[in-house]
A = this chain, B = another copy of it.
Amino acid sequence: MHIRIILNEPLYAGNIGSIARVLKNFGYRDLVLVNPCPIDDEAWMMAQHAYDLLDGARVFETLGDATAGSNLIIGTTGMRGETTGRHIRMPAYTPERIREKLSGTKGGASVASIVFGREDHGLTNEELMMCDMLMSIPTAEQYPIMNLSHAVAVVLYELSDIGIGDILLADRCDLDLLYEHLEGVLCDLGYPAHKKHKTTLMLRRIFGRAELTAREVYTLRGILRLVDYRLRRG
């Protein structure tokens, strides 16, 4: 699903630049501005290496034009907890819930527009009514209002589904050999028999939690072989 980020009447150019950077950080490109403040040096400075996104941002005069062609319009709000009897702001989904809802929707031509309001007063009731769903980031009651660019960062982080590299975990059979080896070394050390089973299990749990790589298992077994060798020589 294509995600479009719409900033509705943003007041601070620095935020617009920061948000261009965040889009690029998470691999998005579609930035749309409705009646923005002038894009000054502060914006270009905050955009850093995302000047192409800032340069390519489309500008419209109305939110209606900005959301044109969207299959889904998601409004954001920092206000929550109003009664369910009022249908404008409720219910506001968490970013996580929105991600779940968007998952499984067909990609390709589908566009979800996420609309962020002004830094001071957010979206008006009229603007919120144009939205299909509302989203709100769970924050502390004491100070729920986030900086605009931080809110965009959190939403895009949640919605992005980028994997993190390709750590090669150890094979199950290498792990089993490591655990056997550990148990063997405990035996050779003369570890108290009545504690051995429990301790072997503890070692399995520790190394299991650590999610060992193939390389780490190799090095650990090298240490155990050295213990074997020294014990035998002794």
Contact = CB atoms under 8 A, between A and B. Distances in A.
Interface string A189-229: 11100000001001000110111111110011001001100
A58 interface: no
Nearest to A90: B167
Interface residues of A, number: 70
A111 B234 CA distance: 43
Given A84-B214, A231-B234, A162 B190 contact: no
A80 interface: yes
Given A227-B189, A231-B230, A234-B234, A84 B167 contact: yes
Interface stretch (A1-9, A61-69, A123-131, A134-142): A134-142
Interface of A: 18, 21-22, 24-27, 46, 48-50, 80-81, 84-85, 90-92, 94, 136-140, 142-147, 149-150, 153-154, 157-158, 160-168, 186, 189-191, 199, 202, 206-207, 209-216, 219-220, 223, 226-227, 230-231, 233-234
